[in-house]
Structure 1
Amino acid sequence: MDDDALHSIGELARLTGLTVKTIRFWSDAGVVPPTARTPAGYRLYGQEALARLGLVRTLRDLGVGLVDIRRVLEREITVTEVAAAHAEALEVQIRTLRLRRAVLRAVAGRGATPEETELMHKLANLSDRERRRLIHDFIDHAFEGVGADDAFMTAMRGSVPVLPDDPAPEQVAAWVELAELVQDDGFRAGMRRAAEDQVRAAEEVGRPGPEETRKLADIMRARTDAARAAGIDPASEEARPVVDELVRRSAELSGREDGPEYREWLLERLEIGDDSRYERYWRLVAVVNGRPETPGMGPAVKWLIAGLRASGVGGRAEG
């Protein structure tokens, strides 16, 4: 090919496979200016224009805008700088698209109403900072000033859910449910009341260590799970030895003696803390963070409450 040859816009289109309309548009934008013109004013393009067209097409295919392409061609910025900026922009777009996909799958999976769909979209599209602020606001409202120990507050603040860049539909659904839950005034008030009660109880009987508390929780789950598996009604005589063992172990942990007064005290503590939404909170946090769910205490607490009530604790026996 003659390096000095000039081509009409039609010839350039045949050489490159681009349309005449596209070449004319890029030429009008100044990224592929004509090399010369015919006496009649028609554009003519040389080898430099042909080379430019190759670069322009590549950059356009990568999503680079004509303004930036022109700056590259005029040596105002480098291709490296443009590539880095657009790669970062694409990362943001990809994260957004992944989140939208997860929201849509979550909507389809739960058969959401238009109102629920709008809420899910709004809550899922909060920034990481906005999501953290939402959870920290809940923690402050529920626990600030109640006297909870530092370890508990550190654990609460350290368990903030973090929605990943490519969330699964169940993570989006869990985050939306969690965001709704922590804004519920009733849940906040219940959490605060339970926290205040735990602080008062610790002041009365001392604060058991985490290892002892965990051991008692494991025993409670094991004994009540076995009782339920065996079909033992907590109100039955068959349940009495299990109830007595659990109360005795709890009293030992608290440094107190088992008896009517302690059982009344224990029943009140159990009932104040018996709210399925507490465990739901931790399950949702685990799902959002992609971690295994820890066994809950809800069924064990309910079984023991029923057993205590059936034995006459609390002023009424359940029959």
Structure 2
Amino acid sequence: MDGTTRYSIGELSRRTGVPVRTIRFYSDEGLVPPADRTHAGHRRYAPAALQRLELIRSLRELGIGLATIRRVLDHELPMARVALAQAEAVEVQIRALRLRRSVLRAAAARGTGPEETTLMHRLTQLTGAERRRITDDFLDATFGAGHDPAAAAMVRTALPDLPEDPTAEQVGAWTEIAGLLGDAEFRALLGRAAARQASGEPLAFEALAGDAVVQGAHRALAEARDADLDPGGAEAAALADALVRRFAEACGRAPDAEFRAWLTAQLAEAHDPRVERYWRLVWTVNGWTVLPQLVPVHPWFLRALRGGPGPDRPRAAGQLSSRAASQPPAGGAPVA
């Protein structure tokens, strides 16, 4: 092929697969200039135009804009630099698509309506800094002036942190957490629960019963819970009755309805279901393993006393993740 070889715009289109209309646009923009024209004014292209068109088409398919392509063709920008920048842009797009997929899967799994789906999407679109601002505002509202700094520090060590590539489960958990953080009543509950835990003081009936009785009861409750014994079933009720008798004897009380109500009231005040639910959601969002020694037995005992299941049995959309990168910091979650 010599230097006099010329192609019509139609021939260029057939050889490259680029539409005639697009080639004409590239020519008008100076990206693929014609070598000359016929007497009738038709554009004729040199063989180099084939290579330029192939490169332009490849770069356009990779998502690179025409202004950048022009600088590459004019040797103003090295191709390697452009490729690196585009690869980073594509990575951002991939993360966005994965997040979108997680939101859609969470909406499908939870059976959410339009409003909650919109909320999930909006919350997951927040930047890391914006999500931290939500949790910081929550901490300020919950542990403002006059609150125990140790309680605030304990909660701060285990704040929810949605990863860049969350699962549908984590998206659902983060959405639920966001609702709790904006609830003034919940903030007050968590503040009181954290203050009690930070103080390290046992419940009144446990303080009276003594360490030996308390530790034995905790072991029995942990075994029942870890064996997935239904807290609303007959076996759990029998265990609860036995523990009521054991605590009553150690406290010098009769295991009657009054003592049972006293014990139940303490457990209910110390372990509100919403606070327990919050910590489980934090474990889910952060991808922590639910370690048995960090899961309190009091909520299970309370449900057994009341004879019914509770929120400790999470719904399908809020079940705890088994993906574990780490474990909660010491003091970051309620312990038995």
TM-score w.r.t. the length of structure 2 is: 0.72
Distance in structure 1 (CA, Å) of the matches to 2:152 and 2:94: 35
1:157 aligns with 2:160: no
1:127-206 matched pairs, under 5 angstroms: 127-144=127-144, 145-149=146-150, 153-198=152-197, 202=201
What is the one-letter code of the residue matched to 2:273? S
Does the Cα contact within 8 Å between 1:161 and 1:289 map onto a contact in 2? yes
Gaps spanning 5+ residues in structure 2: where? 254-258, 308-336
Runs of 4 or more consecutive aligned structure 1 residues displaced over 3 Å after TM superposition: 152-155, 195-205, 214-218, 223-230, 238-241, 244-248, 257-260, 263-269, 294-297, 301-306
Distance in structure 1 (CA, Å) of the matches to 2:216 and 2:93: 49
1:32-47 matched pairs, under 5 angstroms: 32-47=32-47
Indicate how the Cα distance of structure 1 residues 97 and 132 shifts in structure 2: closer, same or farther if over 3 A, else same: same
- Map of 1:282 onto structure 2: 279
1:300 aligns with 2:297: no
- Map of 1:59 onto structure 2: 59
Question: Is 134-143 or 295-304 further displaced after alignment?
Answer: 295-304
Does the Cα contact within 8 Å between 1:148 and 1:199 map onto a contact in 2? no
Gaps spanning 5+ residues in structure 1: where? 249-256, 307-319
RMSD of aligned C-alpha atoms? 3.5
- Map of 2:270 onto structure 1: 273
Distance in structure 2 (CA, Å) of the matches to 1:114 and 1:148: 40
3-state DSSP class of the match of 2:40?
coil
TM-score w.r.t. the length of structure 1 is: 0.76
* Greater relative CO, 1 or 2 (CA 8 Å, sep 6+): 2
1:1-319 matched pairs, under 5 angstroms: 1-144=1-144, 145-149=146-150, 153-198=152-197, 202=201, 218-219=218-219, 221-222=221-222, 225=225, 231=234, 239=240, 241-243=242-244, 245=246, 258=251, 269-294=266-291, 295-297=295-297, 298-303=299-304
What is the one-letter code of the residue matched to 2:244? V
What is the one-letter code of the residue matched to 1:25? F
Distance in structure 1 (CA, Å) of the matches to 2:42 and 2:263: 95
Does the Cα contact within 8 Å between 1:161 and 1:285 map onto a contact in 2? yes
Shift of 1:200: 6.5
Distance in structure 2 (CA, Å) of the matches to 1:36 and 1:305: 92
Shift of 1:96: 1.0
Does the Cα contact within 8 Å between 1:103 and 1:120 map onto a contact in 2? yes
Shift of 1:161: 2.4
What is the one-letter code of the residue matched to 1:283? R
Distance in structure 1 (CA, Å) of the matches to 2:126 and 2:217: 36
Does the Cα contact within 8 Å between 2:231 and 2:300 map onto a contact in 1? no
